């Protein structure tokens, strides 16, 4: 993740924080300064309130880190290496290198996080009990930290994917029906309903005057809704596209234009006459570059007859290219990272075709329309016959 800051390395796992943590740190500090300490310690100055709040936010942060580390350690021991953890909004994203192979392994990895939070809650509760006769202020902070960790355990055990409870739920459904995709679907749907419930409760609480708690619930609800939907989509796309390579999906009939073609001709003779939005500029049999509708848009209209396709194009040395053996999942990541909708497929200097985002999406849709069976056929562990064949018509010659 580019938007995260690496802060250290524990047990061989890189720990990073997402930028959203700056916001979370502030909101936790504010919640405790104004919502909790101001009520219980009216004699405190504003400075003391905010220092107290920041202190709680820091320990809250460490609590979440320990929760995430417990997932990572169990995952490492189960043979699913975790290289990095990114602390993100209300928890973390342990970057699993791949999804667990069975419901049993997923269950272990998921359940250990809430158990860790519960253990921390018990620890802070014991500290509260021990410190209470000595210092009421510190004991109060301990009590709050015990409550926070208990709340983290409870929140994470809600049975909505991708929360830990949702993963536990998915692992149970998965163990029963042996269908990871359908189990994920059920868990993600439950996650969305829980999210709507949280937003509703948050709105009601806010209307009743409980601003701090209400706003928290609404934010968490929206976060959970988005996470449920996108994590299901990710699993769906991954399982639909697993083992599908660029050569299975690329189009070989690329639209080639000569380098000396004017942009004016390009627009009138090519763009307006075909549905293509991206043209390959070939010079002396080599890929010179790509010219897209977007490139044309940047050229003033009166310059069109005077500008060559060669001048307008993005040159080959600035293009990202993919090999025909690259996995389509990787290609989607590459497109997202570079904000492009198509990539030339090359082997060495030879242009084999183009792979476009639209074609990948169409492939995913067709696969889904064909039903569960076709989608499952691409899951690892199925025999190779199920693999889609590259039965597109042979490509037309590159130079026309
Ligand atoms: Zn967790």
Q: Where are the domains of the chain?
A: 4-241, 246-386
CA of 19 to the centre of ligand 1 (A): 19
Alpha helices in the chain (DSSP H): 20-30, 38-40, 46-77, 103-131, 136-156, 164-177, 180-207, 211-241, 246-249, 263-265, 293-297, 309-312, 328-338, 357-370, 372-377
Contacts of 141 (CB under 8 A, 6+ apart): 52, 55, 56
pLDDT of residue 91: 57
pLDDT of residue 373: 55
CA of 165 to the centre of ligand 1 (A): 8
CA of 114 to the centre of ligand 1 (A): 6
CA of 156 to the centre of ligand 1 (A): 6
CA of 76 to the centre of ligand 1 (A): 15
pLDDT of residue 391: 37
What are the φ and ψ backbone dihedral angles of 88, each rounded to 5 degrees? -145, 120
CA of 89 to the centre of ligand 1 (A): 12
The neighbouring-strand residues paired with 351 are 346
Class of domain 246-386: alpha beta
CA of 113 to the centre of ligand 1 (A): 4
- Between CA 218 and CA 304 the distance in angstroms is 52
pLDDT of residue 183: 87
CA of 69 to the centre of ligand 1 (A): 9
Q: Which segments of the chain have a pLDDT < 70?
A: 1-3, 88-99, 371-400
CA of 150 to the centre of ligand 1 (A): 13
pLDDT of residue 12: 82
CA of 63 to the centre of ligand 1 (A): 11
CA of 112 to the centre of ligand 1 (A): 8
């Amino acid at each position: 993740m580019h938007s995260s800051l690496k802060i250290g390395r524990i047990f061989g796992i890189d720990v990073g924080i997402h930028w959203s943590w700056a916001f979370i740190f502030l909101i936790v500090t504010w919640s405790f300064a104004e919502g909790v300490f101001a009520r219980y310690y009216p004699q405190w100055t504003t400075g003391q309130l905010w220092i107290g709040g920041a202190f709680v936010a820091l320990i809250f942060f460490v609590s979440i880190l320990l929760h995430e580390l417990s997932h990572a350690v169990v995952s490492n021991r189960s043979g699913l290496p975790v290289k990095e953890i990114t602390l993100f909004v209300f928890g973390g994203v342990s970057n699993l290198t791949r999804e667990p192979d069975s419901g049993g392994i997923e269950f272990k990895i998921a359940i250990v996080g809430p158990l860790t939070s519960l253990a921390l809650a018990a620890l802070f509760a014991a500290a509260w009990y021990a410190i209470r006769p000595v210092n009421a202020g510190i004991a109060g902070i301990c009590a709050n930290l015990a409550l926070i960790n208990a709340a983290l355990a409870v929140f994470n055990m809600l049975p909505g994917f991708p929360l830990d409870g949702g993963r536990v739920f998915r692992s149970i459904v998965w163990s029963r029906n042996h269908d990871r995709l359908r189990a994920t679907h059920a868990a993600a749907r439950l996650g969305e309903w829980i999210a709507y419930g949280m937003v509703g409760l948050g709105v009601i609480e806010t209307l009743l005057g409980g601003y701090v708690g209400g706003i928290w619930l609404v934010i968490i609800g929206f976060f959970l809704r988005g996470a449920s939907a996108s994590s299901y989509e990710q699993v769906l796309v991954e399982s639909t596209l697993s083992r599908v390579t660029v050569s299975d999906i690329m189009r070989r009939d690329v639209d080639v234009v000569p380098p000396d073609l004017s942009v004016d001709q390009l627009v009138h003779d090519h763009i307006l006459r075909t549905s293509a939005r991206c043209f390959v500029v070939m010079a002396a049999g080599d890929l010179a570059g790509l010219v897209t509708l977007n490139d044309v848009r940047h050229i003033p209209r009166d310059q069109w007859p005077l500008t060559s396709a060669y001048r307008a194009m993005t040159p080959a040395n600035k293009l990202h290219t993919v090999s025909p053996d690259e996995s389509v999942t990787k290609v989607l990541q590459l497109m997202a990272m570079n904000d492009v909708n198509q990539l030339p497929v090359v082997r060495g200097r030879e242009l084999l075709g183009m792979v476009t985002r639209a074609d990948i999406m169409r492939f995913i849709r067709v696969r889904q329309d064909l039903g569960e069976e076709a989608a499952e056929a691409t899951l690892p562990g199925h025999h190779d016959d199920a693999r889609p064949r590259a039965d597109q018509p042979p490509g037309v010659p590159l130079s026309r």
